[in-house]
Amino acid sequence: MVRLENVLASWKTIRQDTAQAVEDLPPGELDFKPTPDLDSFRQIAVHILNAGNGLSGMLLDGEENLSGPEFRERMKKHYSILPADADGAAIAAELRSALEPRITGLAQQTPAWYEQIVTRVDGQKVTRLEMLQFIKEHELTHRSQLFMYLRLKGVVPATTRRRLALQARR
């Protein structure tokens, strides 16, 4: 059985590490792209923010269809408002602050609400709890991209630093 409190706690941890990755990137590198055809670090970080806000916001609004050609437009009402040239500190702060009201709202939902079926972005029918897991996994995937970019810049991600610190204490 998957417990809601663990899903929400895990998402908070993932988000904290996402925000930390943004703070750890060397100054002036937010527009870094490993190759011209990839998204920049900034674009990925803002995508994480807006996808998390948009998809969870739609869930909390009671929407049942999170797919179709118009779903991206419906998500926009939940996006954070950041200037296109926002610095790392502003993006990291928004990543942290935007999640708290979502977590609070999601924690207040009933088990019956989480059992309801919704249509995911790819058309698959899932429960609201499975959709929440999807949102978290989506962020985890893109956080991994940010970690790869950090590595390319010679920065060790926070998760690895924590693991190394634990190993050093043993």
| pLDDT tens by residue, 109-134 | 999 999 999 999 999 999 999 999 99
Q: How far apart are CA 145 and CA 44, in angstroms?
A: 8
Q: How far apart are CA 48 and CA 95, in angstroms?
A: 8
Q: Among 158, 148, 146, which Cα is nearest to 44's?
A: 146
**The CATH number, out of the four listed (3.40.630.10, 3.40.50.970, 1.20.120.450, 2.30.29.30), of the domain defined by the range 4-26+38-169:** 1.20.120.450
> Which residues are bridge partners to 125 per DSSP?
119
**Ranges 15-29, 45-59, 154-168: which has the least confidence:** 154-168
| pLDDT digit string, tens, across residues 146-169 | 999 999 999 999 999 999 898 998
Which backbone phi and psi does 119 adopt, to 5 degrees? -100, 120
Q: How far apart are CA 11 and CA 129, in angstroms?
A: 13
Write the CB contacts of 30 (distance below 8 Å, at least 6 apart in sequence).
40, 41, 42, 45, 87, 88, 91
pTM of the model: 0.94
Q: Which two tokens stand for residue 51?
A: 């996808």
